[in-house]
Chains A and B, each alone.
Chain A
Amino acid sequence: MKSAVIVFPGSNREGDMVRALKLAGSDAQKVWHAETELPKGTDLVVLPGGFSYGDYLRCGAIAGRATVMDAVRAHAARGGLVLGVCNGFQILCEAGLLPGILMRNANLKFICHRQFLKVERNDTAFTKNYAKGQAIDVCVAHGEGNYTADAETLKRLEGEGLVAFRYSDAQGNVTQDANRNGSMNSIAGIYSDKLNVLGMMPHPENLVENLVGGTDGRGLFESLVSSFSKAA
Protein backbone atom coordinates (compact mmCIF):
# COMPACT_ATOMS: atom_id res chain seq x y z
CA MET A 1 0.00 0.00 0.00
CA LYS A 2 1.22 3.46 -0.89
CA SER A 3 0.32 6.33 1.44
CA ALA A 4 0.61 10.07 0.94
CA VAL A 5 0.65 12.18 4.12
CA ILE A 6 -0.29 15.77 3.27
CA VAL A 7 1.69 18.48 5.04
CA PHE A 8 0.20 21.96 5.52
CA PRO A 9 1.89 24.94 7.15
CA GLY A 10 1.25 24.20 10.83
CA SER A 11 0.77 20.43 10.54
CA ASN A 12 2.81 18.78 13.29
CA ARG A 13 1.82 15.10 13.43
CA GLU A 14 2.97 14.08 9.96
CA GLY A 15 6.13 12.42 11.31
CA ASP A 16 4.21 10.19 13.72
CA MET A 17 1.72 9.36 10.99
CA VAL A 18 4.44 8.30 8.53
CA ARG A 19 6.04 6.21 11.28
CA ALA A 20 2.76 4.46 12.16
CA LEU A 21 2.05 3.72 8.49
CA LYS A 22 5.54 2.31 7.92
CA LEU A 23 5.31 0.15 11.06
CA ALA A 24 2.12 -1.36 9.64
CA GLY A 25 3.90 -2.11 6.37
CA SER A 26 2.83 0.77 4.15
CA ASP A 27 5.07 2.83 1.96
CA ALA A 28 4.55 6.40 3.17
CA GLN A 29 5.72 9.77 1.94
CA LYS A 30 4.99 13.36 2.81
CA VAL A 31 3.34 15.57 0.22
CA TRP A 32 3.36 19.39 0.39
CA HIS A 33 -0.03 21.13 0.28
CA ALA A 34 0.84 23.22 -2.78
CA GLU A 35 1.12 20.12 -5.03
CA THR A 36 -1.57 19.79 -7.67
CA GLU A 37 -1.32 16.01 -7.93
CA LEU A 38 -0.86 13.08 -5.58
CA PRO A 39 2.16 10.82 -6.14
CA LYS A 40 1.40 8.24 -8.83
CA GLY A 41 -0.13 5.07 -7.39
CA THR A 42 -1.31 6.65 -4.11
CA ASP A 43 -3.74 4.27 -2.38
CA LEU A 44 -4.31 6.15 0.86
CA VAL A 45 -4.26 9.89 1.54
CA VAL A 46 -3.74 10.95 5.16
CA LEU A 47 -4.39 14.41 6.57
CA PRO A 48 -2.45 14.47 9.85
CA GLY A 49 -3.04 16.45 13.01
CA GLY A 50 -1.66 19.84 13.93
CA PHE A 51 -2.73 23.44 13.64
CA SER A 52 -2.80 24.14 9.92
CA TYR A 53 -2.63 27.88 9.22
CA GLY A 54 -2.63 28.46 12.97
CA ASP A 55 -6.32 27.50 13.14
CA TYR A 56 -7.01 30.97 11.68
CA LEU A 57 -10.61 31.74 10.69
CA ARG A 58 -11.89 28.26 11.69
CA CYS A 59 -9.92 25.06 12.31
CA GLY A 60 -9.13 23.46 8.96
CA ALA A 61 -10.90 26.18 6.96
CA ILE A 62 -7.91 27.42 4.99
CA ALA A 63 -6.25 24.01 4.58
CA GLY A 64 -9.58 22.64 3.38
CA ARG A 65 -9.27 24.95 0.37
CA ALA A 66 -5.57 24.27 -0.38
CA THR A 67 -4.46 23.37 -3.90
CA VAL A 68 -3.81 19.72 -3.09
CA MET A 69 -7.38 19.27 -1.81
CA ASP A 70 -8.74 19.16 -5.38
CA ALA A 71 -6.55 16.10 -5.95
CA VAL A 72 -7.70 14.62 -2.62
CA ARG A 73 -11.33 15.22 -3.59
CA ALA A 74 -10.77 13.50 -6.95
CA HIS A 75 -9.05 10.58 -5.18
CA ALA A 76 -12.02 10.20 -2.81
CA ALA A 77 -14.51 10.46 -5.69
CA ARG A 78 -12.70 7.53 -7.38
CA GLY A 79 -13.26 5.52 -4.21
CA GLY A 80 -9.71 6.04 -2.94
CA LEU A 81 -9.11 5.84 0.80
CA VAL A 82 -8.72 9.04 2.84
CA LEU A 83 -7.98 9.28 6.56
CA GLY A 84 -8.10 12.55 8.50
CA VAL A 85 -7.01 12.64 12.13
CA CYS A 86 -7.67 15.54 14.51
CA ASN A 87 -6.94 18.67 12.43
CA GLY A 88 -7.23 16.31 9.45
CA PHE A 89 -10.85 15.56 10.46
CA GLN A 90 -11.53 19.29 10.74
CA ILE A 91 -10.03 19.80 7.28
CA LEU A 92 -12.20 17.02 5.76
CA CYS A 93 -15.33 18.68 7.18
CA GLU A 94 -14.30 22.12 5.93
CA ALA A 95 -13.45 20.66 2.51
CA GLY A 96 -16.92 19.16 2.25
CA LEU A 97 -15.65 15.57 2.17
CA LEU A 98 -17.45 14.78 5.43
CA PRO A 99 -20.62 16.37 6.82
CA GLY A 100 -20.86 18.51 9.96
CA ILE A 101 -18.21 20.52 11.76
CA LEU A 102 -15.95 20.31 14.83
CA MET A 103 -16.79 23.13 17.20
CA ARG A 104 -15.06 24.41 20.33
CA ASN A 105 -15.12 21.79 23.10
CA ALA A 106 -18.25 22.25 25.21
CA ASN A 107 -16.19 22.94 28.35
CA LEU A 108 -13.99 25.42 26.41
CA LYS A 109 -10.86 23.53 27.49
CA PHE A 110 -8.13 21.98 25.38
CA ILE A 111 -8.32 18.31 26.29
CA CYS A 112 -5.28 16.02 26.17
CA HIS A 113 -5.59 12.55 27.66
CA ARG A 114 -5.87 8.82 27.04
CA GLN A 115 -9.28 7.95 25.65
CA PHE A 116 -11.18 4.75 24.94
CA LEU A 117 -13.21 4.51 21.76
CA LYS A 118 -15.93 2.05 20.89
CA VAL A 119 -15.44 0.57 17.42
CA GLU A 120 -18.91 0.81 15.86
CA ARG A 121 -18.31 -1.53 12.93
CA ASN A 122 -15.44 -3.70 11.77
CA ASP A 123 -16.40 -4.29 8.16
CA THR A 124 -14.57 -1.28 6.72
CA ALA A 125 -11.08 -0.91 5.30
CA PHE A 126 -10.12 1.05 8.42
CA THR A 127 -11.33 -1.27 11.18
CA LYS A 128 -11.35 -4.89 9.97
CA ASN A 129 -8.57 -5.84 12.40
CA TYR A 130 -10.69 -4.75 15.37
CA ALA A 131 -13.75 -6.48 16.82
CA LYS A 132 -17.18 -4.85 16.56
CA GLY A 133 -17.88 -3.10 19.85
CA GLN A 134 -14.25 -3.35 20.98
CA ALA A 135 -12.95 -0.53 23.18
CA ILE A 136 -9.60 0.70 21.90
CA ASP A 137 -7.23 2.75 24.02
CA VAL A 138 -5.90 5.80 22.16
CA CYS A 139 -5.35 9.54 22.84
CA VAL A 140 -7.14 12.80 22.28
CA ALA A 141 -5.52 16.24 22.09
CA HIS A 142 -7.73 19.02 20.81
CA GLY A 143 -9.58 22.23 21.61
CA GLU A 144 -12.16 21.92 18.83
CA GLY A 145 -13.47 18.36 18.73
CA ASN A 146 -17.10 18.90 19.57
CA TYR A 147 -18.79 17.17 16.63
CA THR A 148 -21.87 19.09 15.50
CA ALA A 149 -24.28 18.51 12.64
CA ASP A 150 -27.89 19.37 11.90
CA ALA A 151 -30.59 16.92 12.98
CA GLU A 152 -31.10 15.57 9.48
CA THR A 153 -27.38 14.84 8.97
CA LEU A 154 -27.13 13.19 12.36
CA LYS A 155 -30.12 10.99 11.58
CA ARG A 156 -28.55 9.97 8.28
CA LEU A 157 -25.17 9.17 9.87
CA GLU A 158 -26.84 6.99 12.48
CA GLY A 159 -29.32 5.41 10.07
CA GLU A 160 -26.69 4.48 7.50
CA GLY A 161 -24.13 3.25 10.03
CA LEU A 162 -21.63 6.00 9.22
CA VAL A 163 -20.48 6.56 12.80
CA ALA A 164 -17.02 4.97 13.03
CA PHE A 165 -16.07 5.53 16.68
CA ARG A 166 -17.70 6.85 19.85
CA TYR A 167 -16.10 8.04 23.08
CA SER A 168 -16.49 5.25 25.62
CA ASP A 169 -15.19 3.83 28.87
CA ALA A 170 -12.71 0.93 29.03
CA GLN A 171 -15.54 -1.60 28.62
CA GLY A 172 -16.90 0.08 25.49
CA ASN A 173 -19.88 1.69 27.24
CA VAL A 174 -20.74 5.00 25.62
CA THR A 175 -21.21 7.26 28.64
CA GLN A 176 -21.64 11.00 29.15
CA ASP A 177 -18.48 11.04 31.28
CA ALA A 178 -16.44 9.62 28.41
CA ASN A 179 -17.66 12.32 26.03
CA ARG A 180 -15.42 15.10 27.30
CA ASN A 181 -15.71 17.47 24.34
CA GLY A 182 -19.51 17.43 24.15
CA SER A 183 -19.83 15.79 20.72
CA MET A 184 -23.34 14.99 19.52
CA ASN A 185 -24.11 11.29 20.10
CA SER A 186 -20.55 10.92 21.50
CA ILE A 187 -19.23 10.86 17.94
CA ALA A 188 -15.43 10.57 17.74
CA GLY A 189 -15.19 9.63 14.05
CA ILE A 190 -17.38 9.31 10.96
CA TYR A 191 -17.25 7.72 7.51
CA SER A 192 -18.31 9.11 4.15
CA ASP A 193 -21.29 7.51 2.39
CA LYS A 194 -19.07 5.00 0.60
CA LEU A 195 -17.01 4.24 3.73
CA ASN A 196 -13.77 5.24 1.96
CA VAL A 197 -13.22 8.49 3.86
CA LEU A 198 -12.74 8.42 7.64
CA GLY A 199 -12.35 11.45 9.88
CA MET A 200 -11.62 11.04 13.60
CA MET A 201 -10.53 13.38 16.39
CA PRO A 202 -8.49 10.85 18.45
CA HIS A 203 -4.95 9.87 17.51
CA PRO A 204 -4.45 6.19 16.67
CA GLU A 205 -0.90 7.01 15.53
CA ASN A 206 0.05 7.85 19.13
CA LEU A 207 -0.45 4.30 20.35
CA VAL A 208 1.48 2.06 18.01
CA GLU A 209 4.35 0.92 20.22
CA ASN A 210 4.57 -0.53 23.72
CA LEU A 211 7.43 1.85 24.42
CA VAL A 212 4.95 4.74 24.52
CA GLY A 213 2.22 2.95 26.39
CA GLY A 214 0.14 0.84 24.04
CA THR A 215 -0.52 -0.53 20.59
CA ASP A 216 -4.28 -0.25 20.17
CA GLY A 217 -3.86 2.33 17.41
CA ARG A 218 -1.93 -0.11 15.29
CA GLY A 219 -5.02 -2.06 14.30
CA LEU A 220 -6.28 0.82 12.19
CA PHE A 221 -3.12 1.04 10.10
CA GLU A 222 -2.81 -2.74 9.84
CA SER A 223 -6.45 -2.94 8.73
CA LEU A 224 -5.70 -0.50 5.93
CA VAL A 225 -2.60 -2.36 4.81
CA SER A 226 -4.26 -5.78 4.96
CA SER A 227 -7.47 -4.71 3.22
CA PHE A 228 -5.42 -3.16 0.52
CA SER A 229 -3.16 -6.10 -0.15
CA LYS A 230 -6.21 -8.37 -0.41
CA ALA A 231 -8.01 -5.99 -2.75
CA ALA A 232 -4.98 -5.69 -5.03
Chain B
Amino acid sequence: MKARVTVTLKNGVLDPQGKAIEGALKSLGVDGISGVRQGKVFDIELETGDKAKAEEALKAACEKLLANTVIENYRVEIA
Protein backbone atom coordinates (compact mmCIF):
# COMPACT_ATOMS: atom_id res chain seq x y z
CA MET B 1 0.00 0.00 0.00
CA LYS B 2 1.25 3.48 -0.82
CA ALA B 3 0.49 6.78 0.78
CA ARG B 4 1.41 10.41 0.43
CA VAL B 5 1.76 12.72 3.43
CA THR B 6 1.80 16.45 2.79
CA VAL B 7 3.07 18.77 5.52
CA THR B 8 2.34 22.48 5.22
CA LEU B 9 2.76 25.50 7.47
CA LYS B 10 -0.33 26.56 9.37
CA ASN B 11 -2.10 29.71 8.30
CA GLY B 12 -0.57 32.74 9.93
CA VAL B 13 2.89 31.19 10.37
CA LEU B 14 5.41 33.32 8.52
CA ASP B 15 7.10 31.49 5.66
CA PRO B 16 10.24 33.36 4.60
CA GLN B 17 11.21 30.54 2.21
CA GLY B 18 7.85 30.78 0.45
CA LYS B 19 8.33 34.55 0.19
CA ALA B 20 11.79 34.10 -1.33
CA ILE B 21 10.41 31.59 -3.87
CA GLU B 22 7.61 34.01 -4.73
CA GLY B 23 10.19 36.75 -5.31
CA ALA B 24 12.30 34.43 -7.47
CA LEU B 25 9.29 33.54 -9.63
CA LYS B 26 8.55 37.22 -10.14
CA SER B 27 12.16 37.88 -11.15
CA LEU B 28 11.91 35.00 -13.67
CA GLY B 29 8.98 36.75 -15.27
CA VAL B 30 6.37 34.20 -14.17
CA ASP B 31 3.28 36.40 -13.89
CA GLY B 32 0.01 35.96 -12.09
CA ILE B 33 1.31 34.47 -8.84
CA SER B 34 0.03 36.25 -5.76
CA GLY B 35 1.51 34.01 -3.04
CA VAL B 36 3.68 30.93 -2.41
CA ARG B 37 3.80 28.76 0.71
CA GLN B 38 6.23 25.85 0.68
CA GLY B 39 5.99 22.51 2.45
CA LYS B 40 7.08 18.88 2.35
CA VAL B 41 5.83 15.73 0.66
CA PHE B 42 6.56 12.20 1.93
CA ASP B 43 5.83 9.18 -0.26
CA ILE B 44 5.45 6.25 2.07
CA GLU B 45 5.24 2.51 1.41
CA LEU B 46 3.22 0.50 3.89
CA GLU B 47 3.51 -3.20 4.67
CA THR B 48 -0.18 -3.58 5.41
CA GLY B 49 -2.99 -3.84 2.88
CA ASP B 50 -5.56 -2.80 5.49
CA LYS B 51 -6.64 0.80 5.08
CA ALA B 52 -7.61 1.35 8.72
CA LYS B 53 -4.24 0.04 9.91
CA ALA B 54 -2.46 2.19 7.38
CA GLU B 55 -4.34 5.28 8.52
CA GLU B 56 -3.44 4.55 12.10
CA ALA B 57 0.26 4.11 11.30
CA LEU B 58 0.35 7.26 9.19
CA LYS B 59 -1.35 9.35 11.85
CA ALA B 60 1.22 8.13 14.38
CA ALA B 61 4.04 8.92 11.93
CA CYS B 62 2.76 12.46 11.45
CA GLU B 63 2.09 13.19 15.10
CA LYS B 64 5.36 11.68 16.35
CA LEU B 65 7.78 12.89 13.74
CA LEU B 66 6.78 14.09 10.28
CA ALA B 67 4.99 17.27 11.36
CA ASN B 68 5.65 19.69 14.20
CA THR B 69 2.06 20.53 15.03
CA VAL B 70 3.12 23.77 16.70
CA ILE B 71 3.52 25.26 13.23
CA GLU B 72 2.53 22.61 10.71
CA ASN B 73 -0.57 20.82 9.42
CA TYR B 74 -0.48 17.44 7.71
CA ARG B 75 -2.67 15.67 5.20
CA VAL B 76 -2.66 11.94 4.51
CA GLU B 77 -3.71 10.41 1.19
CA ILE B 78 -3.77 6.65 0.76
CA ALA B 79 -3.45 5.43 -2.82
Decide: A61 near B14, CB < 8 A? Known: A101-B70, A101-B71, A103-B71.
no
Q: A148 to B13: give the CA distance in the assembly, Å.
A: 9
- A106-B14, A148-B13 in contact; A101/B20 too (CB < 8 A)? no
Q: Is the CB of B66 within 8 A of A57?
A: yes
Cα separation A62 to B65 with both chains bound (whole Å): 8
Contact string against A for B residues 39-79, beta-carbon threshold 8 Å, 1 for contact and 0 otherwise: 00000000000000000000000001110101100000000
In the complex, A61→B14 CA distance in Å?
A: 20
Smallest Cβ-Cβ distance to B42: which chain A residue: A57
Whether B17 contacts A108 by the Cβ 8 Å rule is: yes
Q: Contacts of A148 on B, CB cut-off 8 Å? A: 13-14, 70-71
Q: Name A147-193 residues within 8 Å CB distance of B.
A: 148-150, 182
Residues of A within 8 A of B20 (CB): 108
Q: Among A61, A100, A104, point to the contact of B16 (Cβ < 8 A).
A: A104
A119 to B70, CA, bound (A): 27
Does A94 interact with chain B (Cβ within 8 Å)?
yes
A58 at the binding interface (Cβ < 8 Å)? yes
Q: Would B68 and A106 count as touching, CB distance under 8 A?
A: no
Report chain B residues within 8 Å CB of A100.
70
Report the Cα distance A146→B66, complex, angstroms.
20
Interface size class of chain A, counting residues whose CB lies under 8 Å from the partner chain: 10 to 19
Cα-based distance from A144 to B63 in the complex (angstroms) = 22
Q: Once the chains bind, are B65 and A65 in contact (CB under 8 Å)?
A: yes
CB distance from A152 to the nearest CB of B (A): 12
Q: Are A108 and B68 in contact (CB under 8 A)?
A: no
Give the shortest distance, in Å, between B6 (CB) and chain A (any CB).
Answer: 14
Closest residue of B by beta carbon distance from A100: B70
Residue of B13, B14, B65, B71 near A57 (CB, 8 A) is B65
**A58-B68 in contact (CB<8A):** yes
Shortest CB-to-CB span from A33 to chain B, Å, is 16
Contacting residues, chain B, for A105 (C-beta < 8 A): 16
Query: What is the chain A residue whose CB lies nearest that of B17?
Result: A104
A131 to chain B, nearest CB (A): 33
Q: Are A106 and B70 in contact (CB under 8 A)?
A: no
Whether A94 and B16, one on each chain, are in contact in the complex, defined by CB atoms closer than 8 angstroms, is no
A88 to chain B, nearest CB (A): 17
How many whole Å from A146's CB to the nearest CB in chain B?
8
A94 vs B66: C-alpha distance when bound (angstroms): 11
| Interchain residue pairs with CB less than 8 A apart (24) | A57-B65, A58-B68, A61-B65, A61-B68, A65-B65, A94-B68, A99-B70, A101-B68, A101-B70, A101-B71, A103-B13, A103-B14, A103-B16, A103-B71, A104-B16, A104-B17, A105-B16, A106-B16, A107-B16, A108-B17, A108-B20, A148-B71, A150-B70, A182-B16
Q: Ordered nearest first, which 10 A-B pairs have the shortest CB separation?
A: A101-B70, A108-B16, A104-B16, A101-B71, A106-B16, A108-B20, A58-B68, A101-B68, A104-B17, A65-B65
